[in-house]
Each structure stands twice: as C-alpha cells, then as structure tokens.
Structure 1
Amino acid sequence: GNTAYVSENGVLFNKSKTSLIQYPAGKTDSAYTIPDSVTSIGNYAFFGCTSLTSVTIPDSVTYIGYDAFFGCTSLTSVTIPDSVTSIGYDAFFGCTSLSSVTIPDSVTSIGNYAFSECTSLTAINVAEGNTAYVSENGVLFNKSKTSLIQYPAGKTDSAYTIPDSVTSIGNYAFFSADSLKSIEVSGNNPNFSSRSGCLYDKTGMTLRVCPAGLGTFTVGKDVASVYSGAFSGNNLNEVVFSEGASATLGEEAFCDCMNLKKIVIESNANVVFNAMSIVFPDSEKHTIYVVAPEGYTIPESALYGNIEIIYSEPPSDSEDRKEFPTIYVVIGAIAVLALAGGAIVVKKRKA
C-alpha cells in the first residue's frame, strides 16, 4: 500500500520503477539485470555490492548517479548503453575487478573520479562519435584534449608523457596507477613541467603528481606547495621534506597511501599540513612515524581517519622480531605440524 516506493526481488525502486534507489549490499547474486522501466540509477544505488560480477543496464537509463557502483570490487564488466548522458562522480570508484569500459556517443558529462582506483582497468575507451570526450592510448580526455581526466590505474606502462595540448589535469587523475614510475612533459607544454619523473606546474614550485609506482620521494627546497591529491593512492613508504624546504600541503595530499610508514621533516624545513592533508577513508588503523625537529607536531585537523602519529624512527624488522619472538616459533611449528601430520613439542626460543 506504500504510495512512494516499491520493492522487486528485494531491490528498492520508486513507485513507478523509473528510479533504482537501492540494491542491497548483502545480496549474494553474481549478476543483475536492471528493469527496462528504469531511467536513472540512483546515487549509491549499488554501493559496496561486492558479490556482483556483472550488471546489465537497459537502453532506458539516461543517468548513472554519483557513487552508484562505488566499491563493487567483483564487478568485471558493465556495458553503458547509448541512452546514458551523464555519469556521476565516483560512479565506479574502487571497482578493482573492472577490466574494460566504453563511453558511448551519448555521454556528455562524466564526474570527477568516476573510474578512479579501478586497478584492473587498462583502458577507458570512447566511441568515435562522442562529442565531449576522447580516448588516446586508453587515457580519457575531453574532446579538445586540453584536460586529462583519467589515466587508467590498471595500465602497465612505467612511464607516460603528458601531451602538449593539456592545460588541466584532474585531481586523482593518476590515482593508484601502481605501475607508473615516471610522468614526463614535453618542453612545449605551457602549463606543466617534469623533474625526476614527477609532475609539477611550469614554475616547478608546485608538486602536482608523484607517480604511484615510486617507493620513496624527497620534496626539494624549491617546492612551495604540494597539490591536493599529489600523493594519493600511492605506494610510497617514505617521504622526506629536505632541509630548508618551505611547503604547504593541500587537502588530501596524502590520501589512501596504504604503504606510508615514515615522514621525515629535516632541520629548517617549514612544512604546513592543512586540514585533511592525510586521509584514510577506511576503518583500519594506520601508523605513521614522523621524524622531525623537536617540538614539531602535525595538527589534528590535518588527519582524517584512524591514524596514529608517532614522533620517532620506525622500529626495524629485527626490533619487531625481538618484541614477538614466540609467535614466529609457534607459526613455524604449526606449519611443520600441518605438513608432517605428527605431534610436535613447541619450545620457546630465547629472545
């Protein structure tokens, strides 16, 4: 008797079934076909539906909402029909199994981060007749190629050169591109420059993107600012702000840097962490060791997530083993027992 909503096979729609509002994240079906009556896929409609491997979108759909398929980690294929004109921001963010996608002629609007952190996505293809977007070597641009929108995180190239035509690069455009170790820029590009494989503005004073494939990085004293998202989705485990550096960090400069363990701020370095400079959206605890001059602290406002800052050198591997000598012996003993199928006596090893 509800006059506003209706449910079909546990999926929530508006009463006329023109809008798919919510597909339950706990459903265990691997495939789902959206009814032909649906014209819009609502915001967060399939958020976190990790069992789905494929979704069939009918030709009736014109709008895919923001975060619609966010975190659908098992989704391997999705066909966007020619009827769709708009794809919201974060629409397919974190679809780590998605291996290919084609933007049809009809799409005129794609929100920021729509295909970020799709770590299996090697190319974003665009139909030839599309008037708003174009793809070159799998990289998504606006039609005039003045704006680089998304570099697919699953591309296996270790280096990439920014075309001369590019005047703007989207935040998180290179998010989680783990194979990428160098971003180069032609000297003819009027807006960007490259140094040691990292992307800067033309003056070299603003660090725009540090490639995700690097393990360590040093911010030189000539860098005045670190752009929003510059280190986001990065494999970095250590970042050093060199002596005499004077740098201000933008929002989410470090976002989802899952391997980040150590930040070094050398003497006479003036490093300003603005609000939400270090962000971990998940619920896991992240410990970062900060080696800095005495009295230096990172403000609480700069941290978002379950983050612990420890102002010391990180412990070495040998120190970790000293703290937990017994557990290593027990794990080894269990492995031997499983292989041998016999009885074994576990003795505590001396520290």
Structure 2
Amino acid sequence: MSYTSPPSDPFDPFGSPQPRRSRLRRPLTVALAVLVPGALLGWLAYGTLGGTGDGGDGADRAAGSGATPSVLHSPTDGEGKTGDPGATASATSDPKGSDSLKGKVVVIDPGHNPANAEHTAEINRTVDIGTNSKECDTTGTSTNSGYSEARFTLDVAHRLRTLLQQRGATVKLTQDADRPYGPCVDERARIGNAAHADAVVSIHADGSGTGNRGFHVILPGSVRAGAADTRAITGPSKNLGKLIADDFARTTGSSPSNYIGDGTGLVTREDLGGLNLSTVPKVFIECGNMRDSKDAALLTSGAWRQKAAQGISEGIVSFLRG
C-alpha cells in the first residue's frame, strides 16, 4: 500500500520550518525548571505508597482476567477429510467446567472399521451375544455418493473425543482405524467393560429407504441369557439415551426418526451384542439415514457433524453430572 505523508507540522523538529522564538520562552523555561522536579518527587511518593488503586499493574490484570478468547476450528469438508481429526471442536471449553468430568471415563465406539470391506471372511464369522449368535461386524452403509458410514462414525468420534477431553474426561475409542478390521461386537462390549466406563456411546448412521429421515437412540433391553445380563444397566442407559436424544435434537436441529420409535427418537432392542454384553451404561445413536438425500446432505457436512458431536457430548455431560 502506498502512503502519502501529511502536510508539514510547523512544530515538527524533523526538517519542518521552525517558528520564531517567543519572548516568553525564557520565563517559561525558568518556570518549568522549578515545577518539574516537584512533580517528579510527588510521583515517586505516590508510587511508593501504592497509589495505583487497582492492586496491580496492567500485566497482572491481563494475566488474572481469565478472559481467554474462544478458538474456533474449521469444520472438515463434505467428504469427511480432516487435517487433524482430533482437533475439531466448536470452541475451547468454559474454564469453570473444564475439569467437571475429571475422573470420568467415556468410551466412544465408532461403528464399523473403514477396512472391514477388505476382511469379509473375518467379519462374517459369528460370535456369541448371549441371546444368540451374530456376525462379528459388518461393513456398514454409505450415502448414494459413496460416503461411508465408517468414515462418518470415525469423524464424529474424533470430534466428540476432543469435546469430552476439554471437559476433563478420560476418553477411549474402541477403534481408530488402527487395526485390520473390527473389533467384533462382543469385543466392543468388553472394551467398555474393561475400562469401567461411566458411559459408552456407539456411533452409527442408518441405511433405510428414501424418505425415512431423522435420528434415533437405541437402548438395551432387559436381557439375561448366557453371557448377557443387562438388568443393572437398563435404567441408567435409558437415562443416558434420553439426555443424548434431547441434546442431539436441540443442537443439530434434526428431528427424531419418522420411521422408527414412534416419534420419540428412542428404540429398545435385545439383538445387539454391543448392548447385550455391556456391563456399563451404553447406547447406540443412529445419527440419520444415509440413504435419504436430505439426511445425507447433513451427514456429509463437516459443520453438521460438529453439531452432532456437540449434541452427543452435552447429553453425556448431563448424564455424568447426574
């Protein structure tokens, strides 16, 4: 940018014309010589007596103000690409609540491993879920444009992990695309159990028909068969699910499913190994229907996925705070 100098100031000592000396200059000089030392002594006395009036200097006030600016992170693009998946959060947490979940353990279960499709033999083998046997895992669904459920769930899991860690929680993922396939549904349950998790949330997206829209939260039914016994967790899991459903709807603006759950956004099932074999409070959330174009537009939006993580996080926080 070019810069044009302003007109010369007649009192500028650098090269500007100097005014003629006034006849009053000598008396003024004498007066200043008398006044300045007195003012300086007064200022020194004032500083010595601590007369700042605010208890500290500017640096101390800035350091103690607690006014930390919010830091926003850019959402990922519509294809789920993240430069730093674990660093996508809507804002830094409130310092007053940053340690509110200290000592709490949350396990996030991103549904389906992105590499499952390359290990069909392994994921098709059956495992015992208490009530019956079921496939180890599946590949999950995808949008009509090819954005996979596995990519979606992992992205939301990363965002959710960041939000919960900012609250002080210890967060573990059942998988982070760091294994060849799986884990199988029975192992997913064991991971949460072994962590003595205070809450476990399994993240999914549905693959229903066109026109079927909205989210729903799946709760464990009361099961006692074989290795499955959910009687101790059905109550707290239902509470967890209701809180997540409420906060998810409020934060994302999405409506409860119009095709399952009778408009409540809550569904109880007894055929999911990840729930049947859990001994800690656990729910699934189907965040939307990937096969519906309107829901797919949300699920493929990085900004919306951030809202989804925020809604799930707030539900978990409410549950853990009791």
Fold-level match, TM-score > 0.5?
no
Q: Of Structure 1 and Structure 2, which has the larger fraction of its residues in helix?
A: 2
Q: TM class by shorter-chain length?
A: under 0.3
TM-score normalised according to structure 1 size? 0.21
Structure of higher CA gyration radius: 2
